[in-house]
Amino acid sequence: MMIVTGDIFFKPHPLWRARKKQRGKSDAVFDWVREQFLVPGMQKSGIKEQGIDEEAAPLEAYVNHGRWIVKCECGGAEKAFENGLFMCRSCWNAGHRHKYRRVIFPAARVAIESVLEKRPVPNRNWIPGESVTDLERENDEHGAELLEVI
């Protein structure tokens, strides 16, 4: 089991990927999500794709129930993608002129995931500011409970 990003959760159709490769274009999962959901959703709301807001501070990804998530200022949240871009499907990043936002993962991501993977999925949670030591301590304190669920 792993900590899931949007790149793992979403599954583009193999024919879409094959056509992209034939044309020498990116077959990244984010591009599929962008083409299938983000751009059409924005268009339905009368919004044109606006690029990336390079002036805004990046958003921090966090782990919720075994998923890397990014929370929007509007209260919406989406799965985080490896390419570090975010578009809220609740407000279309309205507070940032409908531009994509940058996302950062923690420097200790691999260690965080390693500790969280020892827990059942509902208990795989991490927020910025929590250290790997904090997570390990929680595992030690609740080890018996965690093993009963797994």
Report how far residue 43's alpha carbon sits from residue 94's, in angstroms, rounded to the nearest whole number.
Answer: 14
- pLDDT value of position 71: 99
Instruction: Give tens-digit pLDDT for 46-63.
Output: 999 999 999 999 999 999
Beta strands at 77-79 and 67-71: parallel, antiparallel or unpaired: antiparallel
This prediction has a pTM of: 0.91
Report how far residue 69's alpha carbon sits from residue 6's, in angstroms, rounded to the nearest whole number.
Answer: 9
Number of residues that this document lists for the chain: 150
- pLDDT value of position 149: 57
Say if CB 33 and CB 39 are below 8 A apart.
no
- pLDDT value of position 145: 74
- pLDDT value of position 26: 79
**Phi and psi for 101 in degrees, rounded to 5?**
-110, 150
Divide the 150 residues of the chain into consecutive groups of 10 and give the mean pLDDT of each group: 92 89 86 96 97 98 99 98 98 98 98 95 96 96 70
